[in-house]
Amino acid sequence: GAVVSQHPSRVICKSGTSVKIECRSLDFQATTMFWYRQFPKKSLMLMATSNEGSKATYEQGVEKDKFLINHASLTLSTLTVTSAHPEDSSFYICSARALLAGAMDTQYFGPGTRLTVL
Amino acid sequence: GNSVTQMEGPVTLSEEAFLTINCTYTATGYPSLFWYVQYPGEGLQLLLKATKADDKGSNKGFEATYRKETTSFHLEKGSVQVSDSAVYFCALGGNGGYQKVTFGTGTKLQVIP
């Protein structure tokens, strides 16, 4: 099946520093990847849609200069939280669109990254 | 816009009990409907999916029927196990993997022996 990995799984950083989170599709190519944020006891909120080789499309209310997304290859997208603050602490999840032979066009989700900003 | 409403949890059941988690939606057009499951410490996994009215999605003993007339997609399982303890998310989206998925707030299920 289609596997999506994220690295790191957990990260703790100091306020004001930047953190990069990687999302990789391990056994398929993903032209489209999505970044979500999950608040405690809340649903997933779509932050942005990332297409390989082009600029990400951000959802309303998401600061593109704070959450930098790069989708440089068909298997890797990165989310960089710049100048992190405690309110950025959250669970970040990526998903990747998979077009697999014999399977339906769908999204597969990574395991998530827990970011804690001190 | 699209939205999904699902019952608040947590839901606590004894092993072998019947499970229903209610989900209703608001959407334009004809979305696909999904149930995702998130086990402790893991990412979301697609549990089942239905792409049109009256379709029934099923997997691992779970079922949900796409009811257009009541705009609902309730999740059911006849006999839950401890291993089913997880958070369940109802969601809707387009038929293509490139399209946005709108999630409900999730319902935590705890099954006790």
pLDDT 10s digits, A31-66: 889 999 988 777 789 999 998 888 899 999 999 999
Give the residue from chain A lying closest to B44, CA to CA: A109
Alpha-carbon distance A85 to nearest alpha carbon in chain B (angstroms)? 24
A10 touches chain B (CB under 8 A): no
CA angle B92, B98, B102 (to 5 degrees): 25
d(CA A46, CA A35): 6
Per the structure block, which two tokens stand in for A33?
Answer: 């990847």
pLDDT 10s digits, A60-108: 999 999 999 998 888 999 999 999 999 999 999 999 887 665 555 678 8
Taking CB atoms and an 8 Å cutoff, what residues of chain A touch B97?
A: 32, 97-99, 104-107
* SS3 of A10-22: EEEECCCCCEEEE
- The pLDDT, as a whole number, for residue A104 is 58
A108 touches chain B (CB under 8 A): yes
d(CA B87, CA A29): 29
Confidence of residue A27 (pLDDT cuts 50, 70, 90): confident
d(CA A25, CA A98): 9
Q: Do A109 and B44 touch (CB under 8 A)?
A: yes
Low-confidence ranges of chain B (pLDDT < 70): 95-98
Q: What is the mean pLDDT of residues A20-25?
A: 95
Alpha carbons within 13 angstroms on the beta-carbon side of residue A69 total: 26
Taking CB atoms and an 8 Å cutoff, what residues of chain A touch B103?
A: 43-44
- The pLDDT, as a whole number, for residue B95 is 62
B49 touches chain A (CB under 8 A): yes
